[in-house]
Chains A and B, each alone.
Chain A
Amino acid sequence: MRLALCAALLFASASAVEAEELTVKDTVTAAEWAAYRDRFVDPGGRVIDDGNGGISHSESQGYGLILAYAANDRASFESIWFFTRTQLLLRDDGLAFWRWDPATTPHVTDRNNASDGDILIAYALGLAGEGWAEPRYRQAGARLAASIGRAVVIERNGVPLLLPGVEGFDERSEKDRLILNLSYFVFEALPVLARLDAATDWAALGRSGRGLVAAARFGETRLPTDWIDYRDGKVSPAKGFDPVYGYNAFRIPLYLARAGETDADLLGPFRAAAEAGPAVVDVTTGKPKEALGEPGYAAVGAVLGCILDGRKMPDALESFAPTLYYPSTLHLLSLAYLRERHPQCL
C-alpha cells in the first residue's frame, strides 16, 4: 500500500497539470438558483439541510455561497454571508463552528469545525472577491484561508494533509493514527486559496489529496471509503466507521472533475460505481447498501460519462428540480460544470 501511495503521489504530481480553473460565475441559471434558494435558503441567509432535520452547517453555507456566486446573485450571497459570519465564523482560531441547529439554544451544537465547510466558504469568498471585485469578501476569504492553513493543514512524512477538523482526528485520539476524509479536499478550491493565502502550499495539498484518492482503493470496487485511517503513509478504511463509499465520498469524483481531472484510471472506479447505479457501497462486499435515487446523484455519474466517454447527459437530468439539499447541490454543481467545460454534453 505504501508503495502504491508513493507511486500514486508521483503519478499525481506528474499528471496534475495546471488545469484551467473554472470561472463558476454565470454557470447556474437564474431559474435553477431561484428554485434552489426558495427551497433551501431562508431570508436570514441560512442554508438548510432538509435531509438532516433542518440544521445548517458550514458546508451548507459554503455551497450556498458558491451557488449564489454561480448564479451571479449578490443579494443572496450577502444574506448567506451575513448568517455565516454572525453565526458560525466565530471560533477563536478564525474557523467556523460546523453545526447549527434552529431547535436548540444556543444554536451551535458542536463547536468543532469541519474543514470542508471552511474551505468551501473561503473558496466562495475568494471567487466572489475576484469576480465581483469586492475587497470585503477577498479580505475575509484571506483570513479564513490563513486560519485553515494554520489549524488543519498538517505535514506527515513530508506530505501535507488536511485534517477533517481541529478536534478528534489527529494522533491525540490514537497514536500514529490520523483519520482523513478525502471528500474534504475540495480540489477546485485550492488554486483560489493559494491566491488568498501564501503561507500554505495549497498545490502540494492538492497533489497529496489526489495521491490519497489513488491509493484509497478498497475491495473489488476499488472505491475509497468516506473515512480513512492514515498510518505512516498507509491508508485503510477507518476503524470505527462504516466501510462505505457513502454520501461523503460520493462527491470526490465531482470535485476531481471540476478541478480539471480527466485521468481515466483515477476516475475509473467512480465511473464504474456510477454505472452500476448511484448507491452507498460497502467496500468490503462490493455490494450496494442503499440506492441513491435523487437525480443529483445520477448527475455526478453523467459528468463522469461526459468526461471519459463523451456521453451526453440524459435529458431528464438537464432540467433541475430541487429534491433534498445535498443531491440538489450536487446536481447544480454538475450542471454548472458541464455548462462551463462540456456544453456539448448537454
Chain B
Amino acid sequence: MPVTRRPLALALASAVCGGALALYLEHGEPAAVSPARAALGETQPIVTASLRGSLPPVIMAQATIAPAPSAANPPVAPSPPAPDEPAAPSAEPAVDETALRYFARNGDQERLAREIARLRALYPDWVPPDDLTSPAPIRDAELDRMWRLYGEQRYAEVRAAIAARQTRDPQWQPPADLLTRLDVAEARERLVNASDNQQWNTVVTVAAATPSLLTCAEIDVLWRVAEAFAKTDRTGRARDVYTYVLRNCQEPAERLATVQKALPLLSEAEFAGLLALERRGPDGKGEFEAVRDDIARRGLSRAATDPTLTVSDADRERVETLARAETAPDDAILLGWYFFRRSQPDEALRWFEIARTKGDNAEIGRGRALTLNALKRPADAEAAAAPFRDAGDDNRAAYLIAAASLLALEPPTRLAPDVMSRMASAVTAAKDAPGAEEFGWYAYRIGQTRAAAQWFETALGWQADAEPAAFGLALARQKLGDRAGLASIVAAWSVRSPRIAELGGGRAARRAAPPAAVARPAPDAPEEEAAFAAAEPPAPATPRAAPAAPAARGSCGGRGALDRGWCLLDLDRPIEAADAFAAAGAAGGETTRRDAAYGKSLAYLRAGLTDLAATAAAEAPQSAGRRSELSAAILAQRAIGAYNDGRYVETLFHLDARAEVAAERNDLLMMRGWSYFHLRRLDEAKRIFVALASTGSRDAQRALAAIRDQTRPR
C-alpha cells in the first residue's frame, strides 16, 4: 500500500488522507524536545485498525518521523523508536499469526478483530486462517506466555521473559511484532504518566518518537499530546492534532469530546477552524450542537473580561435562551457579568435578578451589589452585598465598595444603626483603609468630628501613606482645636502634601484657638455620637474609655467626685472628668452642684462637645464671671465649628453673640475677617484685617494681599 509521504500540513489539507498524525517539531524547539521532522519518502505501512464493532477499519498510514540528522543535536527523548525497518515493498511478507491465535484461543474478540484488521492492512493479500477458533497446537509455550503477559499488560514481565530466554538461548530472537508492540505500549505508559504529571515536553518527545501511537485508535493519547502542545504555548500544534482527529476519526462521541477538550485550550480563531469540520446528520443537525452552547458561553465569558472582543447576537441570544430555560442560575450570572463589564448595568441587574430567582448565591450577591453601585444605588448595593460579605475575598471587596459608596453619598444620608454597624465591622475586619477614610469623611460631614478623627487615624494605622486620610485627620483636629495633634500631622505630612502644609502654616491653625487647650478627644458623648454608636471605629492609639486608662497617665482615685473631676481635667482626660463632675453634681449640695456644672461644662468644652458644654452650663446658676467665661468659650467653639463647615453667616452670628460677653480675641477677629471675605463682604473684611495688620499680624497682612488678589481686575 504505497502512500506518498507528505508533510503534515499537506496531509491535513487533504480530506481524503488517512495518515497517522505526524508531529512536526521545528528546529529550534526547546532542548528537551527532540528536533524531529517528518522525513520524506515511503510511508511505513504500519496500520492501526479501528475501532469499535461494526465500524469499518480505518487504516492509518503513518508518516514516519526521523530524528534530525544533526549529530550535534541528539534527541533527548528516552527510548527512541526502534520499530523494525519496514520490509521492502517487494519482499514477501511472513505473516506472524502468533498474536492472532493467542487472542482467538482466549476468546478476546475485540483484540482478535483489531489484529485481523491490522494484519490485513499490513498485508493486503493476507487471508485470515479458518482454523483460528480451534486451538492451534502450542508450538512455543514460552512465547505463548509472553503474549499472555502482553495481553495482560504486564509489560515489565514480558521484557524480563524475553531477556531471560535470550540469556539462556542467545540465538533466540523474539518476534519483531512483539517488540514493536512492547515499544508502543511502553511509550503509551510513559506518555500517559508524563501527561498526568504535567511533563509536557516529555509527552511531546515520546509522541514524536512513537508515531504509531498517534492514531484514532489512541484518541486519549492524541488528546494528551494536543494538551501538551497547548500547555507549552504551541496552540497551533494543538490545533493540528485536533484537526487531524476531526478529519480522520469517526467515533461520534470522541469527535464531540475532541471539540470540548479543544475549547478551553485554543484561541477563538484556532477553534473556529475546528468547528468548520463539523459534520451534519441527515436531520441537518450539526454533530457539535451540544458544544455550541459551551462555545457561546465561552465567547460571552471572554468578552466579559476583554471588551475588545465581540459576541455575535446569535451566541448571546443562545445563552439568554439557556439562561431563561435553566433551573440553575449560572448562565444568567454569566450574562449579568457580561453586561456589567460592558457598562450596561440595567441589563446586568436584570440578569442578576433573574439568576437570583433560580437560587441565590454569593456571586449573584456580588454581581447585584456591583451593578447597583454602578447604578448609583449604593444603599441597595450595600444591602445586596451584606448577606455574602464574608463569602470570600471577592465578596468582601464588593461589600466594601458598596459601603464606601454609601458613606460617600452627597448629601450624607442618615443610616440605620444596623447598617452602620455591619459596615464598620466589615471595614474593621478587613482593615480596609479606604473604608475607614470614607467613614471619616462621613462623620466629618455630619459634624461628628471626633469620630471622624478617629476613623482617619484608623485609616492611617492601616495604610500609613494614605494622604487623604491624613488630610482628613488634620481637618478634624483643626476643627476640634487640637493644635498639638494638628501640628504633629502637619509635621509628618507637610513635605508630602501641600494642602496639609497649608492647614498647618496658614491662617487656619492660628485662628482656631478654643478657650481650653483641647487634647486628643475621647469620643464617647452619648448624644452627638448616636449615629456612630453602632459604628465604633477601632481605637487607633489611645484607649477610648476611662477604665482602661493606663496607670502612667496618673490616677485621680481616692478623692471626692468633685476633686476627681478637677484632677482628671488637669490630666487632660475631659470625658472622665465630666463623668466625675456629673457624679459630684448629683450627690452634692447647692455649691457643689454649681461647681460640678461649671466643671462639667469646662470638661465638655475641652472635649470639643460644645452642645453638651452649653447644657451643662445651664444646669446650675453660675456667677456672672463664670457665666461669661463659659458663654464666651461655648460661642467661640460654635463659631469655629461653623467656620470650619463653611457656614460663615452662622460664624458671624456666634461671634457677635460672644462679643456681647467678652472682648474678641485676635484669632477670632481673624475668623471674623475671613468670614466677611468668604461672604464677599470685602470692605468689612478689609477693615478688620487692616486693624489687625496694624498690630503687626502677618496673617492679617497676608489676608489683605488675598483681598487685593480678589479685587484685582482680571
Write the residues of chain A forming the contact surface with B, with a CB cutoff of 8 angstroms.
Answer: 43-45, 74-79, 81-83, 85-87, 89-94, 97, 106, 108, 111, 136, 139-140, 143, 146-147
Neighbour of B79 across the interface among A77, A85, A106, CB < 8 A:
A85
Residue of B with least CB distance to A139: B80
Neighbour of A85 across the interface among B82, B190, B200, CB < 8 A:
B190
The docked-state distance in angstroms from the alpha carbon of A111 to that of B200 is: 13
Given A44-B154, A44-B157, A86-B189, answer yes or no on A78-B79 (Cβ-Cβ < 8 Å). no
Which one of B92-100, B119-127, B163-171, B437-445 is at the A interface?
Answer: B163-171
- Cβ-defined contact, A79 with B157, below 8 A: yes
Which one of B191-199, B252-260, B317-325, B616-624 is at the A interface?
Answer: B191-199
The docked-state distance in angstroms from the alpha carbon of A294 to that of B196 is: 39
- A136 surroundings in chain B (CB, below 8 A): 79, 82
- B186 surroundings in chain A (CB, below 8 A): 82, 85-86
Closest chain-B Cβ to A55's Cβ sits at a distance in Å of 16
Q: Can you spell out 27 A-B residue pairs with CB atoms less than 8 angstroms apart?
A: A43-B157, A44-B154, A74-B164, A74-B167, A75-B161, A75-B164, A76-B160, A78-B159, A78-B162, A82-B155, A82-B156, A85-B186, A85-B190, A86-B190, A87-B193, A91-B202, A92-B32, A93-B32, A94-B76, A108-B193, A108-B196, A136-B79, A136-B82, A139-B80, A140-B78, A143-B78, A147-B76
Q: Does B373 contact A (CB under 8 A)?
A: no
Neighbour of A90 across the interface among B156, B162, B164, B193, CB < 8 A:
B193
Sample of 13 further A-B pairs with CB below 8 A, known A43-B156, A86-B186:
A43-B160, A75-B163, A75-B167, A78-B156, A78-B159, A79-B156, A79-B159, A85-B78, A86-B190, A92-B32, A94-B32, A106-B196, A139-B80
- A86 surroundings in chain B (CB, below 8 A): 155, 186, 189-190, 193
Residue of B with least CB distance to A90: B194
- Cβ-defined contact, A43 with B199, below 8 A: no
CB neighbors of A among B151-187 (8 A)? 154-157, 159-164, 166-167, 186
- Cβ-defined contact, B78 with A79, below 8 A: no
The docked-state distance in angstroms from the alpha carbon of A307 to that of B427 is: 74
The docked-state distance in angstroms from the alpha carbon of A84 to that of B413 is: 72
Closest chain-A Cβ to B700's Cβ sits at a distance in Å of 62
The docked-state distance in angstroms from the alpha carbon of A61 to that of B240 is: 38
Q: Does B201 contact A (CB under 8 A)?
A: yes
Residue of A with least CB distance to B182: A82
- B167 surroundings in chain A (CB, below 8 A): 74-75
Neighbour of A92 across the interface among B163, B189, B190, B199, CB < 8 A:
B199
- A146 surroundings in chain B (CB, below 8 A): 76
- Cβ-defined contact, A92 with B202, below 8 A: yes
- Cβ-defined contact, B79 with A140, below 8 A: yes
- A76 surroundings in chain B (CB, below 8 A): 160
Residue of B with least CB distance to A134: B163
Closest chain-B Cβ to A69's Cβ sits at a distance in Å of 12
B interface SS class: helix
Residue of A with least CB distance to B189: A86
Closest chain-A Cβ to B151's Cβ sits at a distance in Å of 16
- A140 surroundings in chain B (CB, below 8 A): 78-79
The docked-state distance in angstroms from the alpha carbon of A77 to that of B161 is: 11
Given A77-B163, A93-B32, answer yes or no on A83-B156 (Cβ-Cβ < 8 Å). yes
Given A43-B157, A75-B164, answer yes or no on A97-B78 (Cβ-Cβ < 8 Å). no
- B166 surroundings in chain A (CB, below 8 A): 74
The docked-state distance in angstroms from the alpha carbon of A147 to that of B190 is: 18
Given A97-B197, A106-B197, answer yes or no on A90-B202 (Cβ-Cβ < 8 Å). yes
Given A92-B32, A97-B197, A140-B78, answer yes or no on A74-B163 (Cβ-Cβ < 8 Å). yes
The docked-state distance in angstroms from the alpha carbon of A92 to that of B196 is: 13
The docked-state distance in angstroms from the alpha carbon of A81 to that of B79 is: 12
- B155 surroundings in chain A (CB, below 8 A): 82, 86
- A139 surroundings in chain B (CB, below 8 A): 80
CB neighbors of A among B18-35 (8 A)? 32
- Cβ-defined contact, A91 with B157, below 8 A: no
Write the residues of chain B forming the contact surface with A, with a CB cutoff of 8 angstroms.
Answer: 32, 76, 78-80, 82, 154-157, 159-164, 166-167, 186, 189-190, 193-194, 196-197, 199-202
- B194 surroundings in chain A (CB, below 8 A): 90
- B190 surroundings in chain A (CB, below 8 A): 85-86, 90
- Cβ-defined contact, B197 with A78, below 8 A: no
- A81 surroundings in chain B (CB, below 8 A): 159
- Cβ-defined contact, B199 with A45, below 8 A: no
- B76 surroundings in chain A (CB, below 8 A): 94, 143, 146-147
- Cβ-defined contact, A90 with B159, below 8 A: no
- Cβ-defined contact, A43 with B154, below 8 A: yes
- Cβ-defined contact, A75 with B160, below 8 A: yes
Neighbour of A111 across the interface among B156, B162, B197, B201, CB < 8 A:
B197
The 6 closest A-B pairs by CB, nearest first: A75-B164, A82-B156, A78-B159, A79-B156, A75-B160, A92-B201
The docked-state distance in angstroms from the alpha carbon of A43 to that of B199 is: 27
Closest chain-A Cβ to B174's Cβ sits at a distance in Å of 12
- B79 surroundings in chain A (CB, below 8 A): 85, 136, 140
Given A85-B78, A92-B32, answer yes or no on A44-B156 (Cβ-Cβ < 8 Å). yes
- B80 surroundings in chain A (CB, below 8 A): 139
Closest chain-B Cβ to A276's Cβ sits at a distance in Å of 43
Interface centre among A44, A45, A86, A87 (most CB of B within 10 A): A86
The docked-state distance in angstroms from the alpha carbon of A89 to that of B154 is: 19
- B200 surroundings in chain A (CB, below 8 A): 92
Closest chain-A Cβ to B153's Cβ sits at a distance in Å of 10
Closest chain-B Cβ to A125's Cβ sits at a distance in Å of 10
The docked-state distance in angstroms from the alpha carbon of A106 to that of B166 is: 35
Residue of B with least CB distance to A97: B197
The docked-state distance in angstroms from the alpha carbon of A273 to that of B161 is: 44
The docked-state distance in angstroms from the alpha carbon of A111 to that of B157 is: 26
- B193 surroundings in chain A (CB, below 8 A): 86-87, 90, 106, 108
- A111 surroundings in chain B (CB, below 8 A): 197
- B196 surroundings in chain A (CB, below 8 A): 106, 108
Closest chain-A Cβ to B181's Cβ sits at a distance in Å of 14
Interface centre among B79, B156, B167, B197 (most CB of A within 10 A): B156
Closest chain-B Cβ to A37's Cβ sits at a distance in Å of 11
Residue of A with least CB distance to B200: A92
The docked-state distance in angstroms from the alpha carbon of A97 to that of B196 is: 13
- Cβ-defined contact, A78 with B160, below 8 A: yes
The docked-state distance in angstroms from the alpha carbon of A289 to that of B473 is: 63
- B156 surroundings in chain A (CB, below 8 A): 43-45, 78-79, 82-83
Residue of B with least CB distance to A45: B156
Residue of B with least CB distance to A142: B74
Closest chain-A Cβ to B257's Cβ sits at a distance in Å of 22
- A93 surroundings in chain B (CB, below 8 A): 32
Closest chain-B Cβ to A104's Cβ sits at a distance in Å of 12
The docked-state distance in angstroms from the alpha carbon of A81 to that of B202 is: 18
Residue of B with least CB distance to A46: B156
The docked-state distance in angstroms from the alpha carbon of A139 to that of B74 is: 11
The docked-state distance in angstroms from the alpha carbon of A89 to that of B157 is: 19
Closest chain-A Cβ to B78's Cβ sits at a distance in Å of 5
Residue of A with least CB distance to B164: A75
- B201 surroundings in chain A (CB, below 8 A): 92
- A44 surroundings in chain B (CB, below 8 A): 154, 156-157
Residue of A with least CB distance to B166: A74
- Cβ-defined contact, B199 with A90, below 8 A: yes
The docked-state distance in angstroms from the alpha carbon of A68 to that of B594 is: 106
- B197 surroundings in chain A (CB, below 8 A): 90, 97, 106, 108, 111
- A106 surroundings in chain B (CB, below 8 A): 193, 196-197
The docked-state distance in angstroms from the alpha carbon of A140 to that of B75 is: 11
The docked-state distance in angstroms from the alpha carbon of A10 to that of B155 is: 50
The docked-state distance in angstroms from the alpha carbon of A85 to that of B156 is: 11
Residue of B with least CB distance to A88: B193
Closest chain-B Cβ to A186's Cβ sits at a distance in Å of 21
- Cβ-defined contact, A79 with B160, below 8 A: yes
- A82 surroundings in chain B (CB, below 8 A): 155-156, 159, 186
Residue of B with least CB distance to A81: B159
Residue of A with least CB distance to B186: A86
Interface centre among B80, B160, B161, B190 (most CB of A within 10 A): B160
